[in-house]
C-alpha cells in the first residue's frame, strides 16, 4: 500500500542524544516538511514517543512510522537511514481506535480523555481501592479490592496489561482486556475479555477514605468517583510497520515468549 507518495515527511524525536542525532541525519538526507504539513510522520524514540505522536495526529489521517530508540519499542521499526523512502512506500498500515475515558470526580466535574493503550485506575494512598464493576449497566463484580484495574486495547495488551498478567489480544480482535492490578478480593479473579462494544463503568467505593486516580495513557485525573470506558470509533490513528514486522506478527511472537 503506497502511502509515501508526495515526499511530505516530518521527523520527530525523543530528547535523547541518539534520537536527536538520528533525526538530524534523516532530515539532512530527506528534508522535513514539518508536523503540520506532513502526509507521513517518522517518530524516533520509544513507545512513549509513539503514543505522544499518535495523539498529536489523531483524526488527521497522517500515518506514523516509528524507529526504535527506546527500551522496548514494541510499536517501532528498526532504525536505518538508507532507503527510508522505499521502506515507507512498502510499509503496512494498522489502524487503531482509542478508548474514551469519562470520569466524574469528587468535586462534581466531568472530564474526558482518549487512550490508545489503556485506561488504568490506581489507588492513591496506602489503602487498597474498592471498585464496583458494571458492564453495559449490569453489575458484574460488586466489589474488587485491589491496587487498581486496567482496560486495555489490543495494541495496549502487551504493555502494562501484560505485566499485570493480563491476556495478549490479537491486534485485529474486536476485544478489550479487563485486568486487575494486585487483586486482594476476590483473590482468584484474574479479569475478563470483553467485546470492544462493551461499556465499562467503575464505581469507587469509600472514595474519600480510599481515593483513586484514573489515567488514560498519560492523562491523569485524581479523586475520581466514577469512570466510564468504551471504544470510540469516531477517532482513529494509523501506525506503519515494515513487511514481516507488523503489529499482528509481533503480538503473535510475544505470546510464545517464555
For 35, 65, 92, 140, 187, the CA distances from 89, given in Å and listed in that order, are 19, 11, 9, 47, 50
Q: Are 206 and 185 in contact (CB under 8 A)?
A: no
Q: Are 56 and 133 in contact (CB under 8 A)?
A: no
Q: Are 232 and 157 in contact (CB under 8 A)?
A: no
Buried b (16+ CB within 10 A) or exposed e, 145-172: bbebbbbbbbbbbbbbbbebebbbbebe
Beta bridge pairs of residue 194: 176
Catalytic residues: 47
H or E stretch covering 255: helix 247-255
Buried b (16+ CB within 10 A) or exposed e, 173-211: eebbbbbbbebeeeeeeebbebebebebbbbbbebeebb
Cell readout for 87 is 521502506
Name the phi and psi angles at 47, rounded to 5: -65, -30
Amino acid at each position: 500500500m503506497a502511502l509515501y507518495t508526495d515526499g511530505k515527511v516530518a521527523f520527530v524525536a525523543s530528547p535523547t542524544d541518539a534520537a536527536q542525532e538520528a533525526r538530524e541525519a534523516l532530515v539532512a538526507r530527506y528534508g522535513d516538511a514539518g508536523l503540520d504539513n506532513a502526509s507521513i510522520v517518522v517518530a524516533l524514540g520509544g513507545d512513549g514517543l509513539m503514543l505522544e505522536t499518535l495523539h498529536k495526529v489523531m483524526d488527521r489521517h497522517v500515518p506514523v512510522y516509528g524507529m526504535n530508540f527506546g527500551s522496548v519499542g514494541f510499536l517501532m521499526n528498526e532504525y536505518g537511514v538508507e532507503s527510508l523512502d522505499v521502506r515507507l512506500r512498502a510499509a503496512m498500515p494498522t489502524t487503531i481506535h482509542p478508548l474514551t475515558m469519562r470520569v466524574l470526580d469528587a468535586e462534581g466535574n466531568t472530564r474526558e480523555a482518549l487512550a490508545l493503550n489503556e485506561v488504568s485506575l490506581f489507588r492513591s494512598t496506602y489503602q487498597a481501592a474498592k471498585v464496583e464493576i458494571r458492564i453495559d449497566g449490569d453489575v458484574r463484580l460488586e466489589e474488587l479490592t485491589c491496587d487498581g484495574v486496567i482496560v486495555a486495547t489490543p495494541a495496549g495488551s502487551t504493555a502494562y496489561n501484560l505485566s499485570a498478567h493480563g491476556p495478549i489480544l490479537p491486534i485485529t480482535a474486536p476485544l478489550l482486556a479487563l485486568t486487575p492490578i494486585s487483586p486482594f478480593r476476590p483473590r482468584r479473579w484474574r479479569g475478563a475479555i470483553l467485546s470492544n462494544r462493551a461499556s465499562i463503568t467503575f464505581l469507587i467505593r469509600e472514595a474519600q477514605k480510599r481515593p483513586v486516580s484514573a489515567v488514560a495513557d498519560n492523562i491523569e485525573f485524581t479523586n475520581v468517583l466514577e469512570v466510564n470506558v468504551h471504544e470510540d470509533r469516531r477517532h482513529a490513528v494509523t501506525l506503519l510497520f515494515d513487511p514481516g514486522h507488523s503489529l499482528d506478527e509481533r503480538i503473535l511472537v510475544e505470546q510464545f515468549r517464555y
